[in-house]
């Protein structure tokens, strides 16, 4: 706190702690800064001087208020009121923790600046990123803080009564609440940045078989996507020059490169599949799909490769498939979710049909989207953008042929992107 006071170059003559918890802190700070301290009594003495403020002071001088935890700011205002009655000036408060429950706003109204060492948001960010508490717990805590905050509590403000809002599912999925949770994961931070910057939650599956055609398609639609999904093993002339051009396009248009490799083997083989062979996926793809069928060890292997600091930053676990008769039933999805919950540093989200979880830390990607057709006759099942996002609760739509085989892929990509993004935002 002493460092913060020096860093902010706060102007003060006296140090004053808010009774009682902050008094030892104020004493140490006053000693460290070699500044005089005043004490505000909670009650005026019934005997002797009957003064509320103890210490030696001159009117017109400045007090720096010290507090441990700021909730509503009420006890700070009480202290300041007593100091002002003595002709002292109070403009700055230093606290250890700002619980973000309306205190800053209340103090600001009185022309008082609050400087805090840490905020509740910073603490919760840290606890979630260090896996000390779950994202669900964080949301519960935030809802509790919000419901008891000064800003939201039923109070007569300007003659109007504000009502106390309760936590709704929408709050959990609100981008403000969700952003810091998603940003704990490097891949999701990247995807979210592109999504919000370009206003798109469209991933296009470019399932062409020659590199020239793929690059041309990406060049034309790159501005409307947050990710480009490829099946590298269907590209006849896949080579390093393709990787180089793809990487250049991804930087230029700002999208994530997604290799839909659907890894499903034992750990050692998976590591080799990611790093060797003609595809050496981890060198150019930012995200790869993984089947949960081999069980948790597959995720450890993917993590081993992610840790090597290649292009690969995360993986998507396949919770359910879009093909007719897929064996990925509710029980399978639930087990995939359990695997992901134990490996959040590897799993950034899911490939799913219906969102398998209400955990907003993950991103939910869904294939099987086509506005014009419901099947391709080969087992694929398509549904509308609205069903994919609103009904099924997904974040990102993966669209292939509806765009790539349309008369005008650029127009269709633009249209899918704007419709999907509007639905996502309004959810
Ligand atoms: P389509 O042309 O929109 O059907 O392309 C969908 C893409 O998503 C295609 O590359 C599939 O391999 C991929 N996909 C899928 O369709 N369904 C799934 O369950 C999974 C991936 Br997992």
Residue 404 sits in a domain whose CATH number is: 3.20.20.70
167-218 pLDDT, tens digit each: 445 566 788 889 888 988 999 999 999 999 999 999 999 999 999 999 999 9
Between CA 287 and CA 375 the distance in angstroms is 27
- Which two tokens mark 416? 């899918």
Q: Ligand 1: which residue has its CA nearest to atom 15?
A: 367
pLDDT of residue 391: 95
76-100 pLDDT, tens digit each: 998 999 999 999 999 999 999 999 8
Known binder of ligand: residue 384?
A: no
pLDDT at residue 154 greater than cutoff 60? no
263-316 pLDDT, tens digit each: 999 999 999 999 999 999 999 999 999 999 999 999 999 999 999 999 999 999
Q: Which of 144, 171, 198 is the last residue of a domain?
A: 171
Residues sharing a CB contact under 8 Å with residue 9, sequence separation 6 or more, in sequence order: none
Q: Are residues 150 and 270 in the same domain?
A: no
Within a domain: 413: yes
Kindly give the number of the ligand 1 atom that is closest to the alpha carbon of 289.
Answer: 22
415 is a catalytic site residue = no
pLDDT of residue 149: 54
Within a domain: 179: no
Known binder of ligand: residue 400?
A: yes
Within a domain: 178: no
Q: Are residues 167 and 188 in the same domain?
A: no
Between CA 176 and CA 345 the distance in angstroms is 22
Q: Which of 143, 171, 199 is the last residue of a domain?
A: 171
**Ligand 1 neighbourhood includes 380 CB (under 6 angstroms):** yes
Q: Which of 137, 171, 205 is the last residue of a domain?
A: 171
306-364 pLDDT, tens digit each: 999 999 999 999 999 999 999 999 999 999 999 999 999 999 999 999 999 988 999 99
Q: Are residues 294 and 356 in the same domain?
A: yes
Q: Are residues 217 and 363 in the same domain?
A: yes
Beta bridge partners of 66: 17, 94
Q: Ligand 1: which residue has its CA nearest to atom 19?
A: 321
Within a domain: 377: yes
Q: Are residues 135 and 243 in the same domain?
A: no
Within a domain: 177: no
61 is a catalytic site residue = no
Q: Which of 171, 265, 392, 415 is catalytic?
A: 265
Q: Are residues 365 and 405 in the same domain?
A: yes
Cβ proximity of 81 and 115 under 8 Å? no
Q: Are residues 220 and 291 in the same domain?
A: yes
pLDDT of residue 48: 62
Within a domain: 202: yes
pLDDT of residue 45: 57
Average pLDDT, the chain: 91
**Ligand 1 neighbourhood includes 260 CB (under 6 angstroms):** yes
Q: Are residues 154 and 207 in the same domain?
A: no
Within a domain: 176: no
Q: Which of 92, 146, 211, 260 is catalytic?
A: 260
pLDDT of residue 393: 95
* Separation in Å, CA 13 to CA 61, 63, 82, 230, 330: 6, 6, 17, 65, 66
Q: Give the residue, 170 or 140, on which the prediction is more confident.
A: 140
pLDDT of residue 161: 32
**Ligand 1 neighbourhood includes 222 CB (under 6 angstroms):** no
Kindly give the number of the ligand 1 atom that is closest to the alpha carbon of 322.
Answer: 19
pLDDT at residue 392 greater than cutoff 80? yes
Number of domains in the chain: 2
Between CA 99 and CA 225 the distance in angstroms is 38
Q: Are residues 155 and 202 in the same domain?
A: no
Q: Are residues 22 and 159 in the same domain?
A: yes
pLDDT of residue 366: 98
Q: Which of 193, 262, 310, 390 is catalytic?
A: 262
Between CA 48 and CA 27 the distance in angstroms is 24
Q: Ligand 1: which residue has its CA nearest to atom 22?
A: 321
In three-state secondary structure terms, 96 is: strand
CATH number at residue 104: 3.40.50.2020
Closest CA to 291 of 258, 333, 324: 333
Q: Are residues 142 and 197 in the same domain?
A: no
Q: Ligand 1: which residue has its CA nearest to atom 6?
A: 400
Q: What confidence category does residue 42 fall into, taking pLDDT thresholds of 50, 70 and 90? A: confident
Within a domain: 149: yes
pLDDT at residue 151 greater than cutoff 80? no
262 is a catalytic site residue = yes
Q: Are residues 344 and 317 in the same domain?
A: yes
CA dihedral 415→419→422→424, nearest 10 degrees, is: -120
Q: Per residue in 203-223, is it b (16+ CB within 10 Å) or e — as a string?
A: bbbbbbeebeebbebbeebbb
Q: Which domain holds residue 380?
A: 184-425
The Å distance, Cα 367 to ligand 1 centre, comes to 5
Kindly give the number of the ligand 1 atom that is closest to the alpha carbon of 399.
Answer: 3
Mean pLDDT of 369-373: 97
């Amino acid at each position: 706190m002493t460092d913060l006071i020096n860093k902010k170059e706060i102007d003060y003559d006296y140090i004053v702690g808010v009774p009682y918890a902050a008094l030892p802190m104020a004493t140490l700070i006053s000693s460290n800064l070699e500044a005089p301290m005043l004490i505000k009594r909670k009650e005026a003495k019934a005997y002797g001087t009957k003064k509320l403020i103890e210490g030696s002071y001159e009117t017109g001088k400045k007090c720096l208020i010290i507090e441990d935890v700021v909730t509503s700011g009420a006890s700070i205002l009480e202290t300041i009121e007593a100091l002002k009655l003595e002709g002292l000036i109070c403009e700055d408060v230093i606290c250890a923790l700002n619980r973000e429950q309306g205190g800053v706003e209340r103090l600001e109204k009185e022309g008082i600046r609050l400087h805090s060492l840490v905020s509740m948001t910073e603490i919760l960010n840290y606890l979630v990123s260090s896996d000390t508490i779950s994202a669900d717990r964080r949301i519960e805590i935030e809802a509790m803080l919000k419901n008891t905050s000064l800003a939201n509590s039923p109070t007569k403000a300007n003659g109007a009564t504000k009502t106390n809002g309760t936590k709704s599912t929408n709050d959990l999925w609100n981008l403000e609440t969700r952003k810091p949770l998603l940003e704990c994961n490097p891949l999701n931070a990247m995807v979210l940045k592109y999504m919000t910057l370009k206003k798109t939650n469209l991933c296009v599956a470019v399932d062409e078989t020659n590199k020239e055609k793929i690059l041309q398609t990406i060049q034309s639609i790159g501005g409307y996507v947050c990710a480009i999904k490829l099946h590298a093993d269907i590209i006849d002339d896949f080579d390093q020059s393709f990787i180089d051009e793809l990487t250049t396009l991804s930087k230029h248009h700002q999208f994530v490169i997604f290799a839909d490799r659907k890894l499903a083997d034992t750990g050692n083989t998976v590591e080799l599949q990611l790093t060797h062979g003609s595809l050496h996926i981890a060198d150019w793809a930012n995200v790869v799909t993984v089947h949960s069928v081999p069980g948790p060890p597959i995720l450890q292997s993917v993590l081993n490769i992610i840790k090597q600091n290649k292009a690969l930053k995360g993986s998507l676990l396949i919770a359910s498939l879009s093909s007719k008769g897929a064996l990925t039933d509710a029980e399978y999805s639930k087990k995939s979710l359990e695997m992901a919950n134990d490996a959040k540093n590897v799993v950034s989200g899911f490939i799913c049909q219906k969102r398998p979880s209400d955990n907003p830390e993950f991103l939910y990607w869904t294939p099987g989207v086509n506005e014009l057709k419901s099947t391709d006759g080969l087992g694929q099942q398509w549904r509308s953008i609205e069903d994919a996002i609103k009904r099924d609760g997904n974040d990102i739509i993966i669209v292939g042929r509806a765009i790539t085989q349309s008369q005008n892929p650029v127009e269709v990509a633009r249209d899918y992107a704007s419709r999907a993004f509007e639905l996502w935002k309004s959810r």
